[in-house]
Structure 1
Amino acid sequence: MIAATAVLAGAMSGFGTSTATADPIMDSKALLGNPIAPDGSKITKAEYKDERSIRLTVYSAAMDRSFPVDVQRPADASVPRPTLYLLNGAGAGEDDASWVAQTDALQFLSDKNVNVVQPIGGKWSYYTDWINDDPALGRNKWKTFFTEELPPLIDGALGANGVNAIAGLSTSGTTVLALPIAKPGLFKAAAAYSGCAQTSDPVGSEFVKLTVETWGGADVENMWGPIGSPEWTANDPYVNAAGLRGVDLYISTGNGLPGQYDQLNNPYALPGSFGLANQILIGGVIEAGTNYCTHNLQGRLHELGIPATFNFRNSGTHSWGYWNDELHASWPTLAKGLGI
């Protein structure tokens, strides 16, 4: 699915301290002294964007590439704080279909005592580990990146306390349920907005194929092999939902019918009459699909006796206004898992 169809302690007051010892983010001269993940992944560059915001460049050994990772520091960084990993949709933050460009997410989280981490990169990949390199998308080892490489770097560089939550929309609404299963205990809470948890059945696999091949121009067999092969089942959060036990869960979707943000010239609507038609027609069909998947997941979690907060809106397409609202609504669940 496509979103909206579509080291480093300077004396910076925003960090709540003027000494290098209180905040382990050093200036760039100390970068080489910063943490290295077990496989050799590391932070190679850090740039202050403002008093609270840092752009890290992180080298992934698994992918042999570097990626930007944007960080918003907590309101009070004088003691170790938890971390919220905030994932974008199919465009992976490489386009304007992102939390930063389309919502007030960072403003909303600015008074919270949490590190907000947004990786940039991995479009059309479902943020999973692919079994083969792809001619269009290259090497994708995002499950490894999010579970083994990035967390120790974030914890070490930011002085975080090791307590994590994760939230995402559309395609990453699948990912944020898959990653807590892949690495038990790493994420204490997860919020999935307009995602489809099932990936290995005929309906779910068609969603994946539509995203990866039709929109991404890649070969889905390089991801998990031929449809129906064991990797598809192994990466299916619906099938493996028992692994979500103990995670604080918030899961939401609209039903595809036009809602409050599906109006001409609405700030959260795609521009112009053509854009609005696209949002209502294509975004409506996609959201109807995620509604189907989410009802299935609700039934699955109920069978397993795993508690979760579900929000089934009585309207709404696959678009940013609703995801912005859902981030706000899910904060109590995320905060509980983060211990805030």
Structure 2
Amino acid sequence: MRTTSARYRRVGAIAVALLSMLTTVSAPAAVAQPPQGAHITGIEHVTDRWDKVSVYSPSMNKVIVNDVFKAPESGAPVFYLLPGIDGGDDIAGGGIAPGAKSWFGMTDIQGFFADKNVNVVSPLGGQFSWYTDWIADPGKQYQTYMTRELPPLINEEYNANGQNAVGGLSSTGGTALDYAIQVPGMYQAVGSYSGLLNPSDNAQQVQLTLMGGGANAEAMWGPFGGPLWVAHDPTKNVAKLNGVAVYVAASASGGVGAVDRLPANFGPNITGGLIERIVADSTRVFADAAAAAGVPVNYVVRPDGSHTWGLFESEMQESWNTTIGPALGV
């Protein structure tokens, strides 16, 4: 594995519930109560430290379930982990239970973070949403949810200290970086695990991905090449990440390796390898832009890995050890 550290050396709104308008009348009349703002609707205690927290999102008018691995001590920071394009569900029909193709279902969150004083939070759902706000779909306002609605509730419920980091895999790798761009000062660190980091120059790749769920990418950020595509492009806005600890990684080869944890007789992961090479090139372009702008990033070129949960988990753990944990003071 080859890495560059702080001075990269490249080797290869918030949606608030609307109040009902009150009209002065001469006689008492029933007035509809305004809908409540973002709030926790229930908590399921899976283990002594793992909760499933259901949160009502007023921006999307629905309840979202969030996995939470509680810090061993109060006053800890929060590390948010975004799901992939499937929102934690097995859209390929491989027999994985709903919500289990997720960070808590596919990686050892509990083992890795057992001795680390941080709250790890990962939402479920949001298939084919890119975890951003869509201009033409009120049911996809995930940036608002993740940056405005959910954090205050997590901070209060788990007595967090207000320090935050966010990481994403594949389709949400760029989104994680974008959150720090869109909400300056909220995140001390961000991580992209085999993510697409220059979406405005790869709009057709975004379109192909979203088409898998019957969605149109122009319903997300408008016409290709338009101002919203540029505004949400981490490479185009890399200077705004100055002061944020940034980790980005991908496998240059896309080849299957031990990191993938695939069955011995699996054979070549053709689709995963192709995707990984695309995001590796995108990650390199981002790292080049960061170097040109004088923005320190930890850019990691993996020798192998074919866009699998094994690779994503390895990248996430490395990001924690080298970049995110230190930035959060853990």
Contact 1:68 1:120 in 2 (8 A): yes
**1:203-218 pair list within 5 angstroms:** 204-213=202-211, 215-218=212-215
- Give, as a single letter, the amino acid of the residue that structure 2 aligns with 1:199: P
- Which moves more between the two structures, 60-69 or 96-105? 96-105
> In structure 2, how many angstroms separate the alpha carbons of the residues matched to 1:304 and 1:228?
22
**1:1-340 pair list within 5 angstroms:** 39=17, 40-74=37-71, 76-77=72-73, 79-95=74-90, 96-133=100-137, 139-201=139-201, 204-213=202-211, 215-261=212-258, 268-269=261-262, 273=266, 276-277=267-268, 280-332=269-321, 333-340=323-330
Shift of 1:97: 3.0
SS in 1 for 2:200: coil
> In structure 2, how many angstroms separate the alpha carbons of the residues matched to 1:328 and 1:67?
26
1:200-224 superposed Cα distances (whole Å, 9 cap, x missing partner):
11xx1122111111x1211222111
> In structure 2, how many angstroms separate the alpha carbons of the residues matched to 1:271 and 1:124?
31
CA RMSD of aligned residues (A): 1.9
Shift of 1:38: 5.9
Percent of paired sites with the same residue = 38
> In structure 1, how many angstroms separate the alpha carbons of the residues matched to 2:191 and 2:314?
12
> In structure 2, how many angstroms separate the alpha carbons of the residues matched to 1:105 and 1:46?
19
Shift of 1:161: 0.6
- Which moves more between the two structures, 52-61 or 93-102? 93-102
Contact 2:67 2:104 in 1 (8 A): no
- Give, as a single letter, the amino acid of the residue that structure 2 aligns with 1:111: D
Shift of 1:324: 1.6
Contact 2:254 2:307 in 1 (8 A): no
- Give, as a single letter, the amino acid of the residue that structure 2 aligns with 1:178: D
Contact 1:69 1:118 in 2 (8 A): yes
> In structure 2, how many angstroms separate the alpha carbons of the residues matched to 1:160 and 1:85?
13
> In structure 2, how many angstroms separate the alpha carbons of the residues matched to 1:55 and 1:104?
16
Aligned residues: 288
> In structure 2, how many angstroms separate the alpha carbons of the residues matched to 1:41 and 1:270?
43
Structure 1 residues 314 and 93: alpha-carbon distance in aligned structure 2, compared to 1, 3 A threshold: same
- Hey, what does 1:5 align to over in structure 2? none
Contact 1:261 1:322 in 2 (8 A): no
- Structure 1: gaps spanning 5 or more residues: 1-36
Contact 2:254 2:272 in 1 (8 A): no
- Structure 2: gaps spanning 5 or more residues: 1-14, 18-36, 91-99
Structure 1 residues 124 and 272: alpha-carbon distance in aligned structure 2, compared to 1, 3 A threshold: farther
> In structure 1, how many angstroms separate the alpha carbons of the residues matched to 2:327 and 2:222?
35
1:115-151 superposed Cα distances (whole Å, 9 cap, x missing partner):
0101111111110000012xxxx61001111111111
1:15-73 superposed Cα distances (whole Å, 9 cap, x missing partner):
xxxxxxxxxxxxxxxxxxxxxx9651111111111111111110001001111011111
Shift of 1:293: 0.5
- Give, as a single letter, the amino acid of the residue that structure 2 aligns with 1:297: F
> In structure 2, how many angstroms separate the alpha carbons of the residues matched to 1:282 and 1:56?
34
> In structure 2, how many angstroms separate the alpha carbons of the residues matched to 1:124 and 1:269?
25
Structure 1 residues 270 and 224: alpha-carbon distance in aligned structure 2, compared to 1, 3 A threshold: farther
Shift of 1:272: 6.1
- Give, as a single letter, the amino acid of the residue that structure 2 aligns with 1:326: E
Contact 2:169 2:192 in 1 (8 A): yes
Length-normalised TM-score, structure 2? 0.83
1:144-193 superposed Cα distances (whole Å, 9 cap, x missing partner):
11111111111111111110011121011111110000101111001111
Contact 1:256 1:283 in 2 (8 A): no
> In structure 2, how many angstroms separate the alpha carbons of the residues matched to 1:322 and 1:45?
33
Shift of 1:256: 3.5
> In structure 2, how many angstroms separate the alpha carbons of the residues matched to 1:284 and 1:223?
27
Contact 1:73 1:115 in 2 (8 A): yes
